[in-house]
Amino acid sequence: MSDVASSSSLAMSGGRKPLLDVEDLRVAFRTEEGVVQAVDGVSFHLDAGEVLAIVGESGCGKSVTGMTLMGLTRSPNARFGGRATFDGRDLLAASDDELRRVRGAQIAMVFQDPMTALNPVLRVGPQLVEQIRAHGDLGRDEALERARALLERVGIPRPEERLRAYPHELSGGMRQRVMIAMALSCDPRVLIADEPTTALDVTIQAQILEEVRRLRAETNAGVILITHDLGVVADVADRVAVMYAGQIVEQGTLDELFYDPQHPYTWGLLGSIARVDRPRPPRLPAIAGTPPSLADPPHGCRFRPRCPHAFERCGELPPLEARAGHPDRCWLTPEQKRTKRRVGGQIGLAHGDEEVAA
């Protein structure tokens, strides 16, 4: 199945080598409840200047994927498989030291909660400076000047003052801007943004996303946007990978995913966003049930226990295959999908009882 994914990725990047190529990534953690297969055979690629969104519910392995690329999940309790090729080298096989030189410099990450992601007892300036100096041969003053310029670039007013501020003296949006400035400080070629707007107010969210968009255009970095919010995806992503229970269940361009979604889970996600351009449904539909335990995933299709359209064949795990233009993991035929995904005149996941009524 990874062959299919990587061949399709080659086709999409026009035979050119992608900036980052992840093949059959597997991450397992040994925990008290047994081995948790957090990421189970994930493949995708990322080109310079594009935004790839990885979408899914919490616990689906999307954050682990991002952190693994940075080497942040390495531990005696973790097992890795597959390849993540960046700049001609496999990030999974790289030594701790090699990886340390890559992260923060070539690949940078913005985390979910800006309230806790900055060290509370250090001023903002030194926190930026230490990263700049770790990867370049800059003096303290030069590094500080660069930090000031970075803060200005991400739209922070009075940057000199902010450099001397402690994190708790800044607002959440301001802190997230500091995090973005920090991530950009060494001109990374890949930016991994893990739920960068989840903890922020809606208006601040829009500003931060605007920032991500602008910076992508200015620096031509590839961006991996990890989120559960399809609204955010629609705003900035070029391509989308939908993850469920440690696997990618559907992958395609933004248009393919929003207008021709193939996997019932994607339908569910699309159906659960409130849209202003459509009549408001009586109740915002949510996908029934909860994601499975990754320590003991269901046999066959992992979405089967929550899927109203499941049939006998779903006892067998569907491969990630392009059946209708872009790859997905579902046994239904494209025709079946077209009929089943329409719920009340728009895309959504039927509930079990409605299915019986129909």
Partner 1 sequence: MTRFVVRRLISMVLVLFAISVLTFLIFQVIPNGDPAQRMAGRLSTPETVAAIRRTWGFDQPIWQQYLTTMKKIFSGEVISYTQQVNVLDQIKQDLPATLSLAIGAGIIWLVLGVLFGLLSAIRAGRFTDRALTVLALVGVSTPVFLLGAVALYFLAFRVQLFPNGGYVPLTSDPPQWLYHMILPWLVLSVLFIGIYSRVLRSNLLDTMNEDYVRTARAKGISERRVLLRHVLRNSLIPIVSLWSLDFAAVIGGGAILTESVFNLHGVGQYAAESIAQLDVPPVMVVVMFGAFFVVVLSAVTDVIFALLDPRIRLT
Partner 2 sequence: MATVDSTVRAGAPAARGADAGPAQPAGIGPYRLALRRLRRNKVALAFGALFLLIVVLCLCAPLYAAHVAHTGPNDNHVTETVKVGGVAKDVVSPTGQPIGPTWHGRFLLGADQNGRDIAVRLLYGGRNSLEVGGIATLVTMTLATIVGIVAGFFRGFVDGVLARMLDLIWAYPVVLLGIALGTSLALGGITIGPIALHGNSLLVPAFIIGVVYIPYVAKPIRGQVLGLREQEFVDAARVGGAGPLRIMWSEILPNVSSTLVVFVPLMIANAILLEAALSYLGAGVQPPNPSWGTMISDGIRLIPSAMHLTFVPGAMLVLAVLGINVFGDGVRDALDPRAKVRLEEHAEEASR
Residues that bind partner 1 (CB under 8 A): 67, 70, 72, 96, 100-105, 108-109, 111, 113, 116-122, 130-131, 134-135, 166, 168, 179, 182
Q: Which does 119 bind (CB under 5 to 8 A by kind): partner 2, partner 1, none?
A: partner 1
Stretch that binds partner 2, among 8-16, 30-38, 80-88, 213-221 (CB under 8 A): 30-38
> For residue 292, what are its two tokens?
């499975």
Q: Which does 70 bind (CB under 5 to 8 A by kind): partner 2, partner 1, none?
A: partner 1
Could you give the residue ranges of the DSSP H alpha helices within 13-108? 62-69, 96-102
CA distance 80 to 89: 16
**113 vs 354, which CB is nearer to partner 2?**
113
Question: What's the closest the beta carbon of residue 118 comes to partner 1, in angstroms?
Answer: 6
Site for partner 2 in 109-128 (CB under 8 A): 113, 115-116, 120
Please state whether beta strands 78-86 and 51-55 pair in parallel, antiparallel, or not at all (unpaired). Answer: unpaired
Residue 166: phi, psi to the nearest 5? -90, 150
Stretch that binds partner 2, among 28-36, 80-88, 213-221, 349-357 (CB under 8 A): 28-36
DSSP 211-249: HHHHHHHHH--EEEEEES-HHHHHHH-SEEEEEETTEEE
Q: How many CB atoms lie within 10 A of CB 10?
A: 15
Question: What's the closest the beta carbon of residue 79 comes to partner 2, in angstroms?
Answer: 12
Do 349 and 308 touch, CB atoms closer than 8 A?
A: yes
Do 208 and 200 touch, CB atoms closer than 8 A?
A: yes
Select from 3, 11, 16, 31 the one that contacts partner 2 (CB under 8 A): 31
> Angle 318-319-320 (CA atoms, 0-180°, nearest 5)?
120
Q: What character string, x for contact with partner 2 (CB under 8 A) and - otherwise, covers 35-74?
A: -x-x-------------------xxxxxxx--------xx
Give me the residues that bind partner 2 (CB under 8 A), please: 29-33, 36, 38, 58-64, 73-78, 96, 113, 115-116, 120, 168, 291, 293-295
